[in-house]
Every structure is written in C-alpha cells, then in structure tokens.
Amino acid sequence: VEYLRAQGLKVSSWGLQNEPGSGPNTTTCPPIEERVEPPSPPQPALTSSGKPNSYSVCHYSQCDYYYAFKACAKKIRALDPAIRIHANSWSGQVGAAPIAKDPEALKLVDAWTWHTVNAPSARDFGNQTRHWAYGKLDYTNEHEYQPGSPFAGTEVGTVAAVNSFLNTLTFKDSPT
C-alpha cells in the first residue's frame, strides 16, 4: 500500500488474494501458535483440468489463508482505517467460515468477494449468500462461464452475467 501510494496511486480497497482456495472446507482453524501441521507448501497454479493456469495465483489451504489474512488485514487497518478490506469468500461465505467465526478477524472484514462460475445468476441471490454474509457487504467481482459450460458464449450467459452485476448493486446494496 505504501509503495502504491508513493507512486501516486490512491488505495481504497485491499484483499489478500483472488481465488486462493485449494483443499477441503473447514469451519475453524486452531490458533496459529497451536497449529500442528506446517504451512502448505506452494502448489503449482493449475486449472481444474490439471493444465497450467494462465495467470499468476497463490494457493492457500483454508487455514493458511485465514492466518495470512488476519495478520495482514490487521496491518492494513492500522495503516489506514479508511481502506476497505475484503476477504475472498472462497466457495461462498460458507468457505470463509474460519474468518467469519473469529470475532477479531471478522471485525477486519468490510466485504466478501463473491465469484460465480458456471452457474445461473440466481445462485448469487440464493439463501446461502444472505445467510452467510455475517452483516458485511457482498461484492460480486466475477461472473464467468468456462469453456464447456452451457452458458458460455450464449445470449443467456450474457444476460445472466449482466443480471448478476446489476442485481448485486440493487438488491445487495453493494457499493461496487
């Protein structure tokens, strides 16, 4: 943040990692000082089909993401309380449960980042998104259809993507 500001850029939001996930979902993580297993080793960035990913990415286990988010978000909040901190909602806010269930970590979250992949726009507005928002904002920052999806490259897919973003702004009161 300090580097970006020194280059003349305004920093209004911060998030640790886009699409950090790998591994099974868990609801809680032990305190870091009680952790038994070592941090997950870096994993190659692969697509779900096992091919190399086309963009840079870091993969975290869910607990490693929680530990890193909590440590970094504290520093961002101390640096500038006006920076809006968002946490990646992993596979929906259910997947961010270790952050959401830790009152100290949850206080650092201003918004969740929600992704919809290969699903109709109705998924963004179902019970799970309302139920698991924990009183925080909910950004839909990605709505995509991968090759092979019945929505990819179709008029229905285009309308669904537009519907997702417009309804996020309208019905979820998302500021962005």
| Residue 154 CB neighbour total at 10 angstroms | 12
Query: Which residue matches tokens 């650092």?
Result: 108
pTM confidence score: 0.77
Tokens of 107: 């206080």
> Which residues is 92 bridged to in the sheet?
90
Above 80 in pLDDT, residue 82? yes
Task: State the pLDDT at residue 149.
Answer: 83
Q: What percent of the chain has pLDDT over 70?
A: 70
Per-residue pLDDT tens digits for 164-173: 777 777 766 6
Task: State the pLDDT at residue 76.
Answer: 98
Per-residue pLDDT tens digits for 42-80: 555 566 666 766 666 667 778 888 899 999 999 999 999
The answer to whether the beta carbons of residues 139 and 111 sit under 8 Å apart is yes
> Which residues is 116 bridged to in the sheet?
143
